[in-house]
Every structure is written in structure tokens, then in C-alpha cells.
């Protein structure tokens, strides 16, 4: 069960290791882009290409859908970047349902762990496999793989690392489950655990009242999608990558050009050099390319 590109790596790994994948469950097709054309999810495209039976229920509790899944007599559900499962579905497979989560649980439970570990300045993250129960991301942990977060990490680069790390962990976990060679560890949930709620529009607005380090982490944690937005002269710019400037141009405005480089300032004049930017209606480009064709 899965929908985005992140889930494809795990499915592909199970196919490569000759596991008998008897079905794929993914989200219903949606209209996307300016033309509002129907576009298949990455998981659906992979399933069709590899001739795997495909299910796209609008309602996971639908009687007809539940009957079809029961007839398959599945041993195990593997869930990667999907949605909350109803208990009636969780109870079907013989070995239960496992989920891959892109953080070190119980930290960063929620929809956007890859973004939040960067926004919060974590030095380490990872992937966790766990048994699904009725509470989101709170089931018993099976295995964890950890990875360091580099100083210049973006959500995009970390996503690509974790999807590979995660696919290897999924395959390892499935193998251990079928061999009955695994341990379950209950999660100790605390109100102090950092969480990873869904990214909203308010978070994406660059608040120049914040300190420079926080702003750089926000930009990288939201890059390349959905992107951190800076309002300047009644225009909205997405800042996709940036770094600390060696010089503080305190007398400059919020966004400015100096020595053929593009910058923005926070409230105390801490200057941040823009590396990648996207103007409204334009493609993502380097700041040097942007300056060749645009004026602030």
C-alpha cells in the first residue's frame, strides 16, 4: 500500500527479491497540474508496468473492497506513505501490517518527518518499520536504520537517501517476519516527543522576524516542495536554497542584489545568500540565472 515515489523503491525491492506481491493498493486518480489532467500515482504506474493486480478504493471500509482483499488471502500488508487503515483491514493478513516511517520513532510521528527534522535542525534521522495498530505511527517497532543529516541537506536530498535506506529496511523486515526472527518493541510515547504535522501555508511563509539559522533550515526543509515563500514588493518568490553570507548588509532592504549576488535580510540585518529561487509563474533557477533576466 502506497502512493508517492517514496513508496516505489520499497515495492521495487520486494519484487527484485522475488517476494510474491499479490496486489497493490493506492490512492484514487486525481486531476493534477494546470490542465487538470488525470495523472496516475507513481505506485500505480509501477504496478501497471509490472502487471501487479491494482486496487484503488475510495473507501477502505467498502464491503466489496474488503471481500476482494480477503479472497487474496494475504500473509502481510506492507504500507509505505499511504493513509490510516481501518481496523477491519488491519485484521486481514496472517502476519499483520507493517509500515515504513521516515524517522526514528517515536520521534517525528506524523505526515512530514523529512521536512521537520531539517526545519528543527536535527543532526540524525532514519527509517523505522513497525506494526500498524489503530493509533497513527504508534505501533510496536520492529527495526530502525539511522543516517546523519548533512549541513547542506534539503528535504529533497534527504528524501532520496531515506527512500533507498527505507526500501532496504522493508525487505530486511519482511524477511525476518517470514522467518519469525524479529522482536517487537513497544513505543514509549511522550508529550515531549517532537512531531511532524502536515505542512501548511503559514509555515511556508518566510518570517523575517526569525533568526538566520532558523530561516535557512526552513528553506532547506521545504525544498523543493512546497517551497518557502518570501513576499517582496507585492510579489511572492520561492526560495529553494540559501546559505549564510559572510557579510551583513544591514542597510539593505528585505531582498536585494549586491556584487551580482542575490540576498535577503531578516529583522536584524543578518544577510542570507539565495542560491536557488523561483519567481511566480517561472521555473526554479539559480540566483545568477535569475539576475540575468529579472530586476527586483
Q: Are 129 and 173 in contact (CB under 8 A)?
A: yes
Residue 251 burial class via C-beta count within 10 angstroms: exposed 0-12, middle 13-18, buried 19 and up:
exposed
pLDDT score, position 34:
67
Residues 135 and 10 in one domain: yes
Q: What's the pTM value of the predicted model, to 2 decimals?
A: 0.94
Residues 60 and 206 in one domain: no
Residues 74 and 145 in one domain: yes
pLDDT score, position 295:
80
Nearest to 128 by CA among 110, 149, 152, 155: 110
Residue 231 is part of a domain; what is its CATH number?
Answer: 3.10.25.10
Residue 105 is part of a domain; what is its CATH number?
Answer: 3.40.50.170
Q: What is the mean pLDDT of each run of 10 residues along the chain (296 residues)?
A: 97 97 95 77 96 96 97 98 95 97 98 98 98 95 98 97 98 98 96 97 96 97 97 96 92 92 93 96 95 86
Q: Are 106 and 188 in contact (CB under 8 A)?
A: yes
Please count the structural domains in the chain.
2
- Counting every residue, how long is the chain? 296
Domain that holds residue 96: 5-178
Residues 21 and 141 in one domain: yes
Which grid cell sits at 38?
Answer: 488525470
Asked if residue 186 belongs to a domain, the reply is no
Nearest to 117 by CA among 101, 95, 93: 101
Instruction: State which of 116, 143, 178 marks the end of a domain.
Output: 178
Nearest to 229 by CA among 203, 253, 256, 206: 206
Asked if residue 33 belongs to a domain, the reply is yes
Asked if residue 184 belongs to a domain, the reply is no
Amino acid at each position: 500500500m502506497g502512493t508517492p515515489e517514496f513508496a516505489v523503491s520499497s515495492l521495487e525491492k520486494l519484487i527484485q527479491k522475488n517476494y510474491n506481491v499479490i496486489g497493490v493498493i493506492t490512492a484514487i486518480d486525481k486531476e493534477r497540474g494546470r490542465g487538470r489532467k488525470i495523472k496516475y500515482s507513481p505506485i500505480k504506474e509501477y504496478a501497471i508496468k509490472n502487471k501487479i493486480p491494482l486496487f484503488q478504493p475510495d473507501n477502505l471500509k467498502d464491503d466489496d473492497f474488503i471481500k476482494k482483499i480477503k479472497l487474496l488471502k494475504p500473509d502481510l500488508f506492507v504500507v509505505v506513505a499511504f493513509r490510516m487503515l481501518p481496523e477491519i483491514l488491519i485484521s486481514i493478513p496472517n502476519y499483520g501490517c507493517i509500515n515504513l516511517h521516515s524517522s526514528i520513532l517515536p520521534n517525528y510521528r506524523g505526515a512530514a518527518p523529512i521536512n521537520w527534522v531539517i526545519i528543527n535542525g536535527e543532526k540524525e534521522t532514519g527509517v523505522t518499520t513497525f506494526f500498524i495498530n489503530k493509533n497513527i505511527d504508534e505501533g510496536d517497532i520492529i527495526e530502525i536504520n539511522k543516517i546523519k543529516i548533512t549541513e547542506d541537506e534539503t528535504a529533497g536530498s534527504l528524501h532520496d537517501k531515506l527512500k533507498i535506506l527505507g526500501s532496504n529496511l522493508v525487505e530486511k523486515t519482511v524477511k525476518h517476519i517470514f522467518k519469525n526472527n524479529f522482536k517487537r518493541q513497544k513505543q514509549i510515547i511522550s508529550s515531549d516527543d517532537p512531531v511532524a504535522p502536515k505542512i501548511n501555508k503559514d509555515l511556508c511563509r518566510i518570517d523575517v522576524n526569525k533568526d538566520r539559522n532558523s530561516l535557512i533550515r526552513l528553506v532547506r526543509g521545504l525544498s523543493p516542495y512546497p517551497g518557502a515563500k518570501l513576499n517582496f514588493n507585492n510579489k511572492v518568490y520561492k526560495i529553494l536554497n540559501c546559505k549564510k553570507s559572510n557579510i551583513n548588509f544591514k542597510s539593505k532592504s528585505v531582498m536585494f542584489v549586491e556584487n551580482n549576488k542575490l540576498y535577503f535580510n531578516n529583522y536584524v540585518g543578518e544577510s542570507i545568500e539565495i542560491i536557488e529561487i523561483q519567481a511566480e509563474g517561472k521555473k526554479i533557477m539559480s540566483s545568477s540565472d535569475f539576475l540575468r533576466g529579472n530586476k527586483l
